[in-house]
Amino acid sequence: MPDFRLSEEHEALRQSVREFARDVVAPVIGDFYERHAFPYEIVRQMGKMGLFGLPFGAEYGGMGGDYFALCLALEELARVDSSVAITLEAAISLGAIPIYRFGTEEQKREWLPRLVSGENLAAFGLTEPGFGSDAGGTATRARLDEATNEWVINGSKAFITNSGTDITALVTVTAVTGETPDGRKEISAIIVPSGTPGFTVAPGYSKVGWCASDTHELNFDDVRVPAANLLGQRGRGFAQFLQTLDEGRVAIAALSVGLAQGCVDESVKYAKQRHAFGQPIGNFQAIQFKIADMEARAHTARLSYYDAASRLAAGEDIKRIAAITKLHASEVAVANARDATQIHGGYGFMNEFPVGRFWRDSKILEIGEGTSEVQRMIIARELGL
């Protein structure tokens, strides 16, 4: 039978990240959140800890770990703050891993050492203003100028994480590069370095949550990059990113579990401190049952992502399992954030309490990297419906 107990190495990592989140992130992140400011110093320290290199080989400066190690780190960070967690998740799952999985050796040598060290960040440009869940409707186009051997890119991308920081090095974008024999769009992936002429980053969004993370719309106006910046095979960009999203959904599930568990932590603490009718509110069965339900949800969602991560490590096809765990964990996060806010009463509506951030941060987990509706579509298709 499966054994979900952590190895000594994984447990040591979890404890290390838990202490970092508690001692370094928690005391200051509320201020960054209120100012909608990116926490560069926290990111720098995560880089020193090796967190950006967790699932990458030592030949590129990585830690030689696995995807499960990344998931554990994401859970512990999100237990305190999701902006920091999503910065790490997007930098690895969406930024560096496509280059690691599909890049040429030259591309890997050029970009990965800077990305796995946390010195630079990379972003993943898939979503467009007119096409959200319909990623196959990509309108951004790239034509190969044979005279100069360059791709010329025109279009825009929306809601792109880590795309406009001072340390963002590149964005990998999907673009229509032609037509397939059966008349469908040929979609390829192309690396666009930051600062390339014609590539502009719009001002950051005013967001409901994840307020200390970096999110922008991107515009490409006759952007020229070398033909060698093609990532993977021409015409395989969409398929490559679908594989990337399957893996990323496991990571988002881990982040969701962290938020859900953080809601339990804060609610238990508050229930012991807050008095009403002459006693701690934690003495009342209504509060006890609500927190018990929250803990049960977090526990089962954790087991789900542990299972998905172990299958990923074993090389199994995880499309259905990744959709299940992302769907379940994200809905658990929203439910726990709602209940934690209710337990805190009026204080749960105040930004000075972590559950206020948790509530604001939870909803995007049912939207980003595939909406709950998309996850249900995938599950149904995988069942043959």
- Helix, strand, coil percentages (3-state) for the chain, rounded to 5, are 55, 15, 25
CB atoms within 10 A of CB 379: 17
CB atoms within 10 A of CB 178: 14
| Residue 217 near residue 235 (C-beta atoms within 8 A) | no
CB atoms within 10 A of CB 111: 23
Beta strands in the chain (DSSP E): 121-125, 141-145, 150-161, 168-179, 185-193, 199-201, 215-226, 230-231, 275-276, 279-280
Residues annotated catalytic, as ranges:
369
Q: What are phi and psi of 55, to 5 degrees?
A: -95, 15
The DSSP line for 142-200 is EEEETTTTEEEEEEEEEEEETSSSTTEEEEEEEEEEEE-TTS-EEEEEEEEETT-TTEE
Interatomic CA distance for residues 312 and 304, integer angstroms:
12
CB atoms within 10 A of CB 363: 16
Interatomic CA distance for residues 137 and 131, integer angstroms:
6
Total count of residues recorded for the chain:
385
> Most distant CA pair in the chain: distance in Å?
81
Which position has the token pair 């237990």? Answer: 79
Interatomic CA distance for residues 271 and 216, integer angstroms:
39
Helix axes 354-362, 82-89, angle to 10 degrees: 40
Which position has the token pair 């515009």? Answer: 219
Which position has the token pair 């690396």? Answer: 191
